[in-house]
């Protein structure tokens, strides 16, 4: 499981925010999230992750062979889960709010 501590380093509501890794397994990890209205009832979100693995040339090989495909799959699954929660009745998504 991938875990790291990140900071919201840029915030321009409602169109963009960026999280930046403070601590974790990567040499660097920056993730931009862009949102735009696709219609009156739909929002389009685009992710742009940028990362570098540690370990020099070995890390570059891991990025090229494994990590890029892993992140694409991970982000698609995560975003689908977020969409399902956001579109669910309020009794479902209210469970995720820190009240």
Beta carbons within 10 angstroms of residue 82's beta carbon: 13
Residue 98 falls inside a structural domain: no
| Contact predicate 86/66, CB 8 Å | no
Mean pLDDT of the chain: 89
Residue 58 falls inside a structural domain: yes
87 SS3 class: helix
- Confidence at residue 17, expressed as pLDDT on a 0 to 100 scale: 95
Distance set, CA 25 to CA 3, 10, 46, 48, 69 (Å):
8, 22, 24, 19, 17
Domain of residue 32 covers: 5-93
- Give me the number of domains the chain comprises: 1
pLDDT at 99 over 70: no
Closest CA to 63 of 51, 46, 45, 72: 51
Closest CA to 19 of 33, 35, 36: 33
| Encoded tokens for 97 | 């709010």
- Confidence at residue 41, expressed as pLDDT on a 0 to 100 scale: 82
Residue 17 falls inside a structural domain: yes
Residue 99 falls inside a structural domain: no
Residue 13 falls inside a structural domain: yes
pTM over 0.85: no
Encode pLDDT of 45-87 as tens digits.
899 999 999 999 999 999 889 988 988 898 899 889 888 888 8
- Confidence at residue 29, expressed as pLDDT on a 0 to 100 scale: 93
């Amino acid at each position: 499981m991938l875990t790291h501590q990140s900071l919201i380093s840029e915030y321009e509501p409602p169109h963009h925010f960026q999280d930046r890794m403070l601590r974790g397994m990567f040499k660097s990890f920056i993730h931009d999230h862009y949102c735009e209205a696709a219609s009156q009832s739909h929002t389009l979100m685009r992710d742009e992750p940028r990362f570098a693995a540690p370990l020099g040339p070995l890390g570059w090989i891991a990025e090229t062979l494994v990590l890029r495909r892993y992140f694409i799959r991970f982000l698609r699954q995560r975003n689908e889960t977020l969409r399902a929660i956001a579109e669910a009745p309020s009794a479902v998504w209210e469970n995720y709010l820190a009240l």
